Amino acid sequence: MAACAQAPQTASPAAPAERWLGTGDLGLVVERADGRLQVVNTSSRRVLGRIEGLGDLSHASIVYARNGLHAYVFGRDGALSKVNLGERRIEARVQQAGNSIGGAISQDGRLVVAQNYQPGGIKVFDAETLQPLADIPAEYLPGKFSRVVGLADLPGQRFIYALFDADEIWVADLADPRVPKLQKFRNIGRQPYDALVTPDGRHYIAGLFGEDGLAKIDLWAAAPRVERILGGYGRGQEPLPVFKMPHLRGWAVAGRHAYLPAIGRHEVLVVDTETWREVGRIPVQGQPVFVMARPDGRQVWVNFAVPDYDRVQVIDTQTRQIVQTLSPGKAVLHMEFTPRGEAVWISSRDANRVSVIDTASFQTLATLDSASPSGIFFTSRAGKVGL
């Protein structure tokens, strides 16, 4: 074996003036109480530094630019911030609403969109500068504005979202962002409270707070329309105590099946994505909040609402059995898989800890100190639709 044919290419004694670092294995952890983000590296499993001054980060969410170096942070207080993970600073920031609940980035990375409760609607920004490009109020009746939820990007500079107060789903085509074109689906069901797009971008599914069942749109259909699926899904007539409505965005689609958090019940539902019918239920140790598939779909990881929120359970999708129960620390709020799924990062808010767990052996590979951590977002999200 010949040794490095071309190691030192020149006789120059000088080291390279610049040492470059890559962003493929980076991520952000939200330290919600302090308005701060931790920049983490999933190869070294370490905190590289912090970005401060982001305001109210309760329920904050993050999307990434195509380059993986920039991220957009949607704060609950209506602020939208563009941060640089390398320089660990805020590059741009706008106070764009009074009460905001997340956002999305266009397929080509040029448009960032925030969904707002107050004023109800979406706002569109240039991803480079955060310059406002369009303001689309969710005015469903003259002078009536709805809170917006379930915003997701679709192919072709389009965005889809639900109007909680209007029982509607809108698609905004922003091919020309200054002249948005809207398509409206009405009477989709009472009070859509969250929604998701399947990983292939084909189906949009909204959960309903005001009735049972879910609203589904096949976006690949020649003439998309709303269908009702899973009539039994919801809070039901029985007065079950529901400690937290689950996050739909966490739904797992693994192979042909989707795994859904039951509402108020200690169960994960298994749904066939060809028929959209329930084909099984898996008992778990609490009310599920996030139900997330490992990237290969062979495992589904579940966390829970109070009082069971110190636990995480792992379902094997082949046998539909629980194969592991973990206690990574009190108040597990979020989980994020590394891109190829060998590890999962879990935030335990009240333990002030992020745990890195090996998904094969279930061993804890590392723990990181973190002040009240909530959401964890890795740069690999940049390459995904609907996240």
Of residues 157 through 196, those in contact with a second copy by CB under 8 A are none
Find the binder of a second copy among 3, 141, 179, 223 (CB under 8 A): 3
- Least gap, CB of 64 to a second copy (angstroms): 7
Binding mask 215-254 for a second copy (x = CB under 8 A): -----x----------------------------------
């980035």: which residue's tokens? 105
Q: Strand 288-293: give its sheet, edge to edge.
A: 288-293, 299-304, 312-316, 321-326
Size of the site for a second copy (CB under 8 A): 76
Cα(162)–Cα(62) distance, integer angstroms: 19
Q: How far is the CB of 217 from a second copy (least distance, A)?
A: 15
Q: Which stretch binds a second copy (CB under 8 A): 200-208, 233-241, 326-334, 368-376?
A: 200-208
User: From residue 291 to residue 310, what is the string marking binding to a second copy with x (rule CB under 8 A)?
Assistant: ----xxxx------------
d(CA 85, CA 65): 11
Which range touches a second copy (CB under 8 A), out of 225-233, 244-252, 282-290, 375-383? 375-383
Which C-beta is closer to a second copy: that of 47 or that of 331?
A: 47
HEC sequence for 184-248: EECCCCCCEEEEEECCCCCEEEEEECCCCCEEEEECCCCCCCEEEECCCCCCCCCCCCCCCCCCH
Residue range at the interface with a second copy (CB under 8 A); choices 23-31, 141-149, 207-215, 228-236: 23-31
Q: Which residue in the set 98, 232, 255, 280 belongs to the binding site for a second copy (CB under 8 A)?
A: 255
Are 281 and 267 in contact, with CB atoms under 8 Å apart? Answer: yes
Task: Provide the CA 246 distance to its chain's centre, in angstroms.
Answer: 13
Instruction: Pick one of 90, 134, 322, 366: the residue that binds a second copy (CB under 8 A).
Output: 90
Q: What is the CA radius of gyration of the chain?
A: 21
